[in-house]
Amino acid sequence: MVDLQQHPHRRYNPLTRQWVLVSPQRTQRPWQGQVEEAKDEKILEYDPTCYLCPGNSRSAGHSNPHYEDTFVFDNDFPALEPNTVSHETNEKGLLVAESESGICRVVCFSPRHDLTLAGMTQAQVRKVVDAWASQYSQLGSLSFINSVQIFENRGAMMGASNSHPHGQIWASSHIPDETAKECSATENYFRANGSCLLCDYLKLELSKEVRVVCTNDDFVAVVPFWGIWPFETLVIGKRHVTGLDQLSEGDRNGLADILRRLTTMYDELFQSSFPYTMGFHQQPTDGTEYPGYHLHAHFYPPLLRSATVRKFMVGYELLAEPQRDVTPEQAAARLRGEA
Ligand code: H2U
Ligand code: ZN
């Protein structure tokens, strides 16, 4: 086997059926590009100007209750609306459009303005897991909702508008592209092999250990073999379930534990509140069974080599395919605090 830590090569992502170019020989190159300002501002426990803190008012005259753990509300500026005008456009297969309807919600993880998932207790994160699971079931059971995307944008670098710990849910009538890509790849794999792609992948990763970042009895976090972002991770359940709604009590505690531990490892890596987008991929809620679909979460942090140097998807990556220098194996070792 050729040493993948030495030579440029491509890796295949079986979930999306796309490739990534890996160039480990480039990690030594000097950095003269943009450097972000390191911000170390003091965040208050309660911010009277925050639109997510308990008791405060939001836009459109709504005010938040004095909530004690999580709080979910309909986004006041939703990207999707339940009652859109239904339409379809198709001119020669070139000018194609269709209406899209849906529901957008905001999930406050904690009444405390200054916390992050890493700083919350396992019991507090468990409440967030419960809120996500219940939203998935609730929204997914609506006849016009066929896919539920739960996500968190953490940090100004990722476009989060507010440091209060919160995430979003966009539930839509159509199955969006990333979910659809994964669905078709995992269902094809299931039909061809009679087993689940992520169950099989997890067995391989647990036997090799090199890309594993942390584990508990129920979940594993790995830097995927095919990751695009330098410190991208995938959180995979050890048991095959298709959505958060199917997690047992024990699994939910396990998920809360691994989310806390992983986000703590991220913060420790560059001694800062690590920015990322994270989100869950779950079975579509269109009434079809997807036996090959395995619940998982992706973490996509934008940092390249330190808290102040970020990765941009530009040039070759926009025009040809994504590329990385630090290998997934090196990134996993750094996240484990070994390198
Ligand atoms: P982000 O920080 O990821 O942008 O999420 C905050 C969301 O909160 C955003 O989608 C919504 C924005 O539309 N929001 C409200 O629903 N009400 C408000 O009063 C302000 C912001
Ligand atoms: Zn707040």
Q: Please report the pLDDT score of residue 176 as a whole number.
A: 98
Q: Quick one: average pLDDT of 203-222? A: 98
How high is the mean pLDDT of the chain? 94
- Tell me the percentage of the chain whose pLDDT exceeds 70: 97
Q: Please report the pLDDT score of residue 61 as a whole number.
A: 87
Nearest in space to 101 (alpha carbons), one of 88, 117, 85: 85
Q: Quick one: average pLDDT of 25-39? A: 70
Beta bridge partners of 150: 169, 280
Q: Compute, in angstroms, the gap from residue 146 CA to the centroid of ligand 2.
A: 32
Q: Out of 106, 108, 152, give the residue to mutate to test ligand 1, the one with the largest number of ligand atoms within 8 Å of its CB.
A: 106
* Tens-digit pLDDT profile for residues 152-193: 999 888 878 889 999 999 999 999 999 999 999 999 999 999
pLDDT at residue 139 greater than cutoff 90:
yes
Q: Compute, in angstroms, the gap from residue 161 CA to the centroid of ligand 1.
A: 7
Q: Please report the pLDDT score of residue 67 as a whole number.
A: 98
pLDDT bucket at 32, cuts 50 / 70 / 90? low
* Tens-digit pLDDT profile for residues 277-318: 999 999 999 999 999 999 999 999 988 877 777 888 889 999
Cα-Cα-Cα-Cα torsion 82, 154, 32, 330, nearest 10 degrees, comes to -110
The amino acid at residue 120 is M
pLDDT bucket at 71, cuts 50 / 70 / 90? very high
Q: Quick one: average pLDDT of 139-149? A: 98
Q: Quick one: average pLDDT of 43-63? A: 93
Ligand 1 neighbours, Cβ below 6 Å, are: 51, 58-59, 75-77, 106, 153, 160-162, 168
User: How far from chain centre, in Å, is Cα 41?
Assistant: 25
pLDDT bucket at 205, cuts 50 / 70 / 90? very high
Mean pLDDT is lowest, of 30-39, 195-204, 237-246, 266-275, for 30-39
| Nearest atom, ligand 1, residue 77 CA | 13
